[in-house]
Amino acid sequence: MKKLDKYIIKTFFGPFFFIFSVLFFIFIVNIIWVQMSQFTGKGLTYWEIIKFLFYMSANVVSMVLPLTILLSAIMTFGDFGERYELAAMKAAGISLTRVMAPLFITVTMMSFVLFLFSNNVIPDFQRKAKNMLFNIVSSKPALNFTPGVFIDQISGYSVKFDKISGENKENLEGVFLHKNSNSYENQQTIIAKKGRFAKAPDPNYLKLILYSGYIYEDDIANKAYNERLNQPNQSIKFDSLAFHFDISELINQAIESEKITDDYRFQNYFEVNETLAKTDENNKVSINSISNQSMMTVNAYVQYLDNPHNKIKVDPTPNFTGEGLAADKKMEVFYNAYVRLNNLKDSNKQSQDQILEMKKYKNKMVIYQQRILSYSVTCIIFFMIGASLGSIIRKGGMGLPVVIAIIIFIIFYVINLSVENLSWKGQLDPYLATWAPNMILFPFAIWLTYKALTDSQLFDIEKYRTLLKPITKRFTKTKEHKRYQ
């Protein structure tokens, strides 16, 4: 490697690490902001929260890296142009292609690393993050009661408190407890005006002391149906009652235990291929079942009309008007036809929704799989755009280059979301939807590279003023010098 190549790469990685750190921090803060409601009141340690954010951060890399390459390329070549280093290189006989070559090779290697990272690391981290989030949401609900909302995470009971107060949220008002039991077990409901949480001797239990309330219970277990109907309702009034919740399953639940393992987002590129093949087979079976059911519905009514025992002779033509039938028989035929058609119409609507959901799920799977590869190609396209724009603008720093890079990234992101939504609705092929942003930006990158190689004055304001001068001259009045006024 020559000294010039080392200098170019060193200059590129200067802003690269800084920009990557800033963007990574911004995306992580966004995750914290979105997930903050899941953390509060769960009794999580700082280590558990940091570990969860670490797992979530892996998915951020695939979006941060292309934007970082775009910004770094614009700033690097903009600095070369602003300090006249690019002009000096060209004067020494070094073409822009030769200047871009070492960084192009570097970015290509980074794209390959991103593919390996997206294919092997991100699926594993997404599995850990999703399971950890599920365990966080479902664990320790006793520490996160919400006033006026039923909570049924505690095994065996549904709980609601009208008002919660106190320094440690220990004072309660309007307590309602209902035992979740089936129709063959004793039914129990407890209502109290006030209550408070207290420390239980056993940490596996949550102690609740209730004041001024009633216990309503139906003693119907192990009794026949008629005997249960004759059982009177029992109500017990109490001044105070100590109630214990068994929460051992919740507090002893491992925060990282993996219960969700069948998500396609936990698979790499080649594993998704196998899942897609299985999904296609299952979809074929489901569609055949739906079509057979629709045909059976239609054929059943045809057989009903053709059955001689029905004593209803109907002309099986589209222009049937019911002539020759009695009024009541005519109304019966038309009503039955109306009901059958409505049922068939509703059945077809449900079938269409079911097929659309299957198609939407498969499209999501294809988009996830193709993005493992497409984001790596995006890195190379963004470098071509950034390096070309930087050499044309010839402005370094955090000013104009950053604005242009953000505009390009927003365009890419909007196109990405738009085609993704179209694919989810079944209006666009998922493979085309995944690669459409790259297909749109690649010709733009080629055009910018051509302009940079030919030293085009693409952003020369005076050039555009000269072109528009014949038009603007018609709408502007020539000002005379004050001396001649």
H helical segments located in 219-326? 225-229, 248-251, 269-306
Q: Provide the pLDDT for residue 312.
A: 47
In a domain, 188, yes or no: yes
More confident site: 305 or 211: 211
Helix axes 269-306, 327-393, angle to 10 degrees: 160
Report yes or no: 112 and 128 within 8 Å, Cβ to Cβ.
no
The encoded tokens of residue 394 equal 């010839």
In a domain, 341, yes or no: no
Radius of gyration of the chain (CA): 35
Residue listed under structure tokens 């307590």: 175
What tens digit of pLDDT does each residue of 390-418 get? 888 877 666 677 788 888 888 988 998 89
* Phi, psi angle pair for 182, to nearest 5°: -85, 180
Residue listed under structure tokens 């950053």: 402
Q: Provide the pLDDT for residue 332.
A: 72
* Residues contacting 235, CB < 8 A, separation 6+: 214, 215, 216, 217
Residue 205 CB neighbour total at 10 angstroms: 16
In a domain, 370, yes or no: no
Q: Provide the pLDDT for residue 428.
A: 85
Residue 70 above 80 pLDDT?
Answer: yes
What span, in angstroms and rounded, lies between the C-alpha atoms of 9 and 7? 6
Considering only the C-alpha atoms of the chain, give the largest distance between any 2 of them, rounded to a whole number of Å. 116
Q: In what order do the strands lie in the sheet with 205-218?
A: 157-165, 171-179, 187-198, 205-218, 234-246
Helix axes 327-393, 430-453, angle to 10 degrees: 20
Distances (CA, A) of 4 to 9, 12, 73, 92, 342: 9, 12, 16, 12, 77
Q: In sequence order, what DSSP letters do the residues of 161-181 get, joined into one string?
A: EEEEESTTS-EEEEEEEEE--
Q: How far is CA 410 from the centre of its chain?
A: 18
In a domain, 313, yes or no: no
Mean pLDDT confidence for 375-381: 92
Burial of 129 (0-12, 13-18, 19+ CB in 10 A): buried
Residue listed under structure tokens 């528009």: 468
Mean pLDDT confidence for 165-193: 80
Domain that holds residue 158: 145-251
What tens digit of pLDDT does each residue of 343-368 get? 777 777 777 777 888 888 888 888 88
Q: Provide the pLDDT for residue 41.
A: 55
Find, among 284, 414, 281, 431, the residue nearest to 365 by Cα.
Answer: 431
Q: Kind of pairing, strands 171-179 and 187-198?
A: antiparallel
In a domain, 473, yes or no: no
* Residues contacting 459, CB < 8 A, separation 6+: 392, 393
In a domain, 327, yes or no: no
Mean pLDDT confidence for 426-437: 88
What is the pTM assigned to this prediction?
0.65
* Residues contacting 121, CB < 8 A, separation 6+: 58
In a domain, 168, yes or no: yes
Residue 137 above 70 pLDDT?
Answer: no
What span, in angstroms and rounded, lies between the C-alpha atoms of 137 and 125? 18
Residue 62 above 50 pLDDT?
Answer: yes
* Residues contacting 242, CB < 8 A, separation 6+: 198, 207, 208, 209, 210
Highest averaged pLDDT of the listed ranges 70-74, 93-97, 177-181? 70-74
- As a whole-number percent, the residues of the chain with pLDDT over 90 amount to 10
What tens digit of pLDDT does each residue of 9-44 get? 888 888 899 989 988 988 888 877 777 666 665 566
Q: Provide the pLDDT for residue 442.
A: 92
Mean pLDDT confidence for 127-150: 68
In a domain, 169, yes or no: yes
Find, among 36, 22, 81, the residue nearest to 397 by Cα.
Answer: 81
Residue 220 above 80 pLDDT?
Answer: no
Mean pLDDT confidence for 195-224: 79
Produce one character per residue of 399-434: b if its CB has 16 or more CB atoms within 10 Å, e if not.
Answer: eebeebbeebbeebeebbeebbebbbebebebeebb
Show the CA angle centred on residue 468, arms to residues 465 and 472, nearest 5°.
105
How many domains in the chain? 1
Burial of 1 (0-12, 13-18, 19+ CB in 10 A): exposed
pLDDT confidence of 140, banded at 50, 70, 90? very low
Per DSSP, 120 falls in state: I
